Structure formats: C-alpha cells, structure tokens
Amino acid sequence: MVNSLWAFGAERLSPISDGSRQKFGLEHLWIQTKERAVVPFRLNDVQEDYIQQIGWTPDTRLTGLRELILKARQFGFSTLIEALLFLDTINHANTNTVVIAHDLESTEKLFRMVNRFYDRLPAGKPVTQYASKREIYWPSINSRMSIETAGKGTAGRGDTINNLHMSEWAFWEVPEVVTGLLQAVPGSGNIFGESTANGRGNQFHEEYTLAKGKIEQTEDGRTASVFRAHFYAWHQYAGYSIPAPAGFEPNEDEKVLASQYGLTYEQLEWRRRKQLEPGMGSMFPQEYPADDDEAFRVTGNLFFDTFMTEGPSSHVRTAIFTPAKPPPSWYVFMGGLDWGYADPTAFVFGCMDENGNKHVLESFEEARLTNDEQGARVVEIIERWGVPIGKVQILADGNMWSQRTVNGVVVEPDVAAYQRAGLWMLEARTDAVSNKHRMSLLRAAMREPGAFRVQQGFNRDLVTALANAKYDPIKRESVLHDKSSHSTFAAGCFVAHWSTVPKSPINPLSPDEQYADTNREIHEAQRIERMKRNGMQPVRNKDGAIEYNDDGDIVWEEAPRKSKGVVKGFGGR
C-alpha cells in the first residue's frame, strides 16, 4: 500500500483563464544541449511520460500538486520542471515561484536556464523591472521567479510560495529548510521535489520510502506522506543506448538484467561503457539505478564492493531457494537476532549446505513491534520456508535475557515471548559477539568468495545495511552506518553461529529423528537455566519429573531466594 495523502482527481489541474494576454507554451522555450547548441525545447520520452502522469496539457494549469521524483542522472527533470513552473509564473498574475538548488553552481545554472527561457520568448512577453543574481520580477503581472541555494538557512523564507521546486533534494546540507518552505505553500500551490539518490537515512530517502509504502512510520511519527512518488530507471530513457559490437555476448549478470527489464544488447553495451568510467564502478547503481531499491543501496566508499554485484565470487545472488522451492530439509538452519522496540528489531534467517556455504534466505528490520509480535514475525518467516521452528537455532542479543523492572514490578525478560512461541533461542554474550568481534567475523566472511550468499528479493534491509557499512581498505577497519547497525548486528549473530555448527550432512539417514528429541531437550535445558537466573524454576512432581500444562509448556514457580536482591542476567552489548 502506498502511504500517500496526495489527492488524485481533476482538482489538481484547472483550465487556463487569465484575461486576454498572450499565453506561452513549451514550444516557445529554448534550451542549451550537452553539445552546447541552443535549440527549441522538445520533450524526451521520459519527460513525455511524466507530464502524462501529472495530466499536464497546454490548456491546463498546475494546481495542488505534491510531486516526489527519484530518477537516474541526466534525464532532464530539472529542465522540465523549470519549464513548467516558468510558464505558470509568466502566464498568470500574482504568482511567486521559488526554486531551491543544492549548491551554488547548480543555482547559477538554473538561473541561466530561466533567463534563456525569458530572453527567447516571442513578442508580447511582460517586461522585467529588475533581474538580480537570483530573481526575475515582472511588475505588470506582479509575478516573480527566484532561484536560491539550499545551503542558506533562510532560503525561500518570507512570502507565500505558489510554486516550489526542490532540486536534488537528497543532497541538501540544511534539510531543516524544508519545513519552512512547505509551510509557505498553500493547498492550491505546487511542490516538486526531485533528486538522484544519496544513500539512506537522509530526508529525501525517508520521504520517498514513506510515500511508496516501503516504511510504515517515520522517526517523527508520520504514517503517510503528502507526496506522490515516481521513479524513473536508467533503462527507461531511449538515449541510454549505443550500438553493440558484432558478436556481443551478455555475461550472467547482464542476462539476469535483460530478463528482468527487457533490456536490449544496445542498452547493455551502454551500461558496460558507463561502468568503465572512473569512479563509476561501485557508484553506478546509485547514479543509474535499475529500480528504486537499488538506488538507495550505495553511499560513497563501500565496505562490500563485491556484495552488490552478482557473480561467482560475489555475496549477493538471484534466489536459488524460494518458499515454494526451499533448501533440503537436512540442511542446518540458523538465525541471528538484534532485539529492539523503538529501535528496529532485525532478524536474519538462513542455512548451511553440505559444502559449508551459508545462504541467507530471508531477513527483516522493523521498529515498534511488541515482543509477541516480533516472535510471531520470526515464526512466520521460518514456517514460510517450510522449516520446523524447533530446527532453527537463533543467536540473539544477550540483553533479552536480562531481568527488567517496570514501575517497580519485575516483568518477564524479553526473550520469554520468543520462547513461548516455541523458538530455540541462544544468548549472544558480550564477550562472544561484541560489536568489534561481529564486524571482524563479517569482514572475514566477506573475504571468502561465494561462501556467504544473500538472496535477492527477500533481504532488502540486510543487503542495504551491509553495503552501506563504510570500509577503510588501508586500515582494514569499518564504521557502521547508524541506520544500518541493527541488520548488521543480526548478521553478526548469524555469522558467529557458524563456528559452532557443523556442515550439513550430505545424506542424513533420518533428518526428523536427528532433530526432534535433541532440540526439545536442549531447548528446555536452556529455558530452565535462563529462568533460574531470573528467579524461577520448573514445578516438579513427587518423582522429580517436570510438570507441563495443557499446552505442553513447562509450569514455573518462584525459586527459593538464597540472598537478597535480584540476580541480573548477563550478556548485552
């Protein structure tokens, strides 16, 4: 579901009606091309698609639009939006249009574009009273258009804004400016925010993912966006295509792309050439994304350069297992968990094959789930893959076993809800899986070609978290991106579990017998030990056997206290 309050309907466009003055259209505008020629403005295929999306025609006026555009580079969106807003400003009296660029160079470029629009108009255009470095004013119609820089904290402050264009929003250094700008635009005004991606965690990324329904709530508690979000991939632009040489043969990666997006050899050849440009190898997915998930995976220098490129030695792969075609039942199944509530809870689920290779099957990262909801979500994922939950050892945040007191009342440890759900929980103690140690384990895993494979399609948060872990190749150290640490900790728990788990047998005699009894015994022994540290013990009958309730769960009672005070659980980060 798309979380957008943006209202579709006829009210977003209204017929042009502003006296008998001459109206100007796109056919009257001129632009400068990359080849430095000044030519009449003609829509390319991507621009044509977009104006159809918003329902614009020469006989209509933009009204009440809230548009958010994520796109590949050099599509001409800034030019198109400038053109539409320039025409709206010069064709209608009492219009105030504000354009905010992300840096000074872009500000000057956009202002030159607007000046060119005006200078090339035919006879009948309104006369300017003054034109400063950042503003053009037409006194006869009391309309103005200003171009400012986002780096100024006062950009756009002041009068009511009828049209607002936030260019390359993801790169704004003062994102707080946005709040003031949006409040200056009335309901009938128009707001356009467009940008290429600039990693995760910034304001543009948050707003886009909220509008697309990829997140349920922002950090400030918003559950819906006023924007309507659009995405334009590189392969949607006809200009990104060059002749392929004779005998062109796509590699495995290109075959997957061609199958997914219907790419031609000419498009694949353009992609090959573009990736050979300096600095473009790891940055191509951000600058020229194929889908809106890929756009946000890259942010500067990567810890896992090979992680994002599928190939024999990479760590991301097209899914070879699916819930409909799960791994063999005799594989060893494992999980890693980072517990949270206001902070996200992250879970990584996977298996180890007979060769010792580890496959991450599915993962999630989500905030504001209760313990019972978290446990149910983990059970749902495991069972979706057709695996009995008793077969899956889950190494988890040690703090989950700690005793807690709420308003003076001792409450059950967080892990209890997971255990009630039947999950096999193992404690990740600080000395075993510290932040430093888990990253050391992850780095080691990443250096082993192909041994740690994360399946595409089921692990969006994990792929992004790992790819966004910045890495210094000289010091061989990493610094985690704050927004990504939860999935990475869960992955660290998953990785740490490998050293204690043997390879899956190639031909087990009886997989069900292998796990059933031992899992129950081990699980119960662990629960008894945890509950003992929390002051509880199982009820036993006169023969010393543990008693169970009607649901098959252990009956607990308070253990005799040997000393005053509460015995704290150990572990944590």
> pLDDT (tens digit, 9 = 90+) per residue, 304-341?
334 444 444 455 555 677 787 888 888 889 898 888 76
Question: Bridge partners of 316?
Answer: 454
Please report the pLDDT score of residue 89 as a whole number: 94
Of 303, 302, 264, give the one whose Cα is nearest residue 286: 302
Placement of tokens 């709530």 in the chain:
217
Q: How many residues does the chain have?
A: 573
Question: Bridge partners of 229?
Answer: 68
Structure-token pair, residue 12: 């977003």
Structure-token pair, residue 398: 């040690």
Query: At 177, which amino acid appears?
Result: V
Q: What is the longest distance spanned by two Cα atoms in the chain? A: 105
Task: Indicate the SS3 state at residue 86.
Answer: helix
Among 231-245, 345-359, 549-563, the minimum mean pLDDT is found in 549-563
Does residue 58 have a pLDDT over 50? yes
Does residue 454 have a pLDDT over 90? no
Most confident of 363-372, 376-385, 489-498: 376-385
Under a CB-based contact definition with an 8 Å cutoff, are residues 360 and 327 in contact?
no
Residues 6+ apart with CB under 8 A from 242: 266, 269, 270, 273
Of 374, 375, 378, 346, give the one whose Cα is nearest residue 465: 346
- Pairing state between β 556-558 and 536-538: antiparallel
Residues 6+ apart with CB under 8 A from 268: 244, 248, 250, 254, 257, 258
Q: How confident is the model at residue 433 (pLDDT cuts 50, 70, 90)?
A: very low
Phi-psi region at 349: left, alpha or beta (left = phi > 0; alpha = psi -120 to 50): beta
- Structural domain boundaries of the chain? 10-232, 246-300, 301-573
Among 48-62, 112-126, 316-330, 538-552, the minimum mean pLDDT is found in 316-330
Among 22-36, 292-306, 381-395, 489-503, the minimum mean pLDDT is found in 292-306
Among 33-47, 99-113, 262-276, 456-470, the minimum mean pLDDT is found in 456-470
Structure-token pair, residue 482: 């704050």
- Between 55 and 459, the more confident residue is 55
Task: Give 56's DSSP letter.
Answer: -
Please report the pLDDT score of residue 42 as a whole number: 94
- Residue 305 CB neighbours (<10 A): 16
Most confident of 125-129, 276-280, 362-366: 125-129
Report in angstroms the alpha-carbon separations of 10 from 53, 57, 63, 185.
13, 13, 10, 20
Helices (H) and strands (E) in the chain, counts: 15, 25
Show the DSSP H helices in 370-459 as ranges.
371-384, 415-420, 435-446
Please report the pLDDT score of residue 64 as a whole number: 94
> pLDDT (tens digit, 9 = 90+) per residue, 517-549?
344 555 567 667 766 766 778 899 888 888 887
Does residue 97 have a pLDDT over 60? yes
> pLDDT (tens digit, 9 = 90+) per residue, 239-257?
999 999 999 998 887 888 8
Can you tell me the distance from the alpha carbon of 268 to that of 251, in angstroms, rounded to the nearest whole number?
10
Residues 6+ apart with CB under 8 A from 320: 359, 455
Report in angstroms the alpha-carbon separations of 371 from 362, 400, 413, 463.
20, 10, 10, 25
Q: What are phi and psi of 373, to 5 degrees?
A: -65, -40
> pLDDT (tens digit, 9 = 90+) per residue, 387-401?
999 889 898 877 888
Does residue 138 have a pLDDT over 70? yes
Can you tell me the distance from the alpha carbon of 98 to that of 147, in angstroms, rounded to the nearest whole number?
6
Of 378, 347, 391, give the one whose Cα is nearest residue 489: 347
Task: Indicate the SS3 state at residue 61.
Answer: strand
Report in angstroms the alpha-carbon separations of 560 from 312, 333, 538, 557.
58, 38, 12, 9
Query: Is the pTM value of this prediction over 0.75?
Result: no
> pLDDT (tens digit, 9 = 90+) per residue, 458-510?
565 565 556 544 343 333 344 433 334 577 677 777 776 665 555 444 433 33
Structure-token pair, residue 275: 């990736």
Please report the pLDDT score of residue 302 as a whole number: 36
Please report the pLDDT score of residue 331 as a whole number: 87
Taking only Cα atoms into account, the Rg of the chain, rounded to an integer number of angstroms, comes to: 29
Q: How confident is the model at residue 444 (pLDDT cuts 50, 70, 90)?
A: low
Under a CB-based contact definition with an 8 Å cutoff, are residues 332 and 377 in contact?
no
Q: Taking all residues of the chain, what is their mean pLDDT, rounded to a whole number?
A: 77
> pLDDT (tens digit, 9 = 90+) per residue, 193-227?
999 988 777 889 889 989 988 777 776 778 889 99
Show the DSSP H helices in 184-320 as ranges.
203-211, 252-261, 265-275, 284-287, 292-295
Q: Which helix (H) or strand (E) holds 454?
A: strand 452-455
Q: How confident is the model at residue 59 (pLDDT cuts 50, 70, 90)?
A: confident
Please report the pLDDT score of residue 62 as a whole number: 87
Report in angstroms the alpha-carbon separations of 336 from 348, 382, 385, 396, 418.
5, 12, 16, 6, 13
Placement of tokens 């905030």 in the chain:
367
Task: Give 569's DSSP letter.
Answer: P
Please report the pLDDT score of residue 241 as a whole number: 94
Structure-token pair, residue 303: 């810890």
Among 67-76, 371-380, 471-480, the minimum mean pLDDT is found in 471-480
Please report the pLDDT score of residue 80 as a whole number: 95
Does residue 516 have a pLDDT over 60? no
% pLDDT > 70, the chain: 69
Can you tell me the distance from the alpha carbon of 553 to that of 401, in angstroms, rounded to the nearest whole number?
19
Mean of pLDDT values over 8-14: 40
Q: How many CA atoms lie within 13 A of 571 on its CB side?
A: 21
Of 3.40.50.300, 3.40.50.620, 3.30.465.10, 3.30.300.30, the CATH number of 10-232 is: 3.40.50.300
Report in angstroms the alpha-carbon separations of 521 from 20, 249, 515, 517, 526.
88, 56, 10, 6, 9
Query: At 156, which amino acid appears?
Result: G
Residues 6+ apart with CB under 8 A from 4: 211, 213, 224, 225, 226, 227, 228, 229
Question: Bridge partners of 204?
Answer: none
Task: Give 65's DSSP letter.
Answer: -
Give the CATH number of domain 301-573: 3.30.420.280
Q: How many CA atoms lie within 13 A of 52 on its CB side?
A: 7
Placement of tokens 């009886």 in the chain:
510
Structure-token pair, residue 221: 């508690």
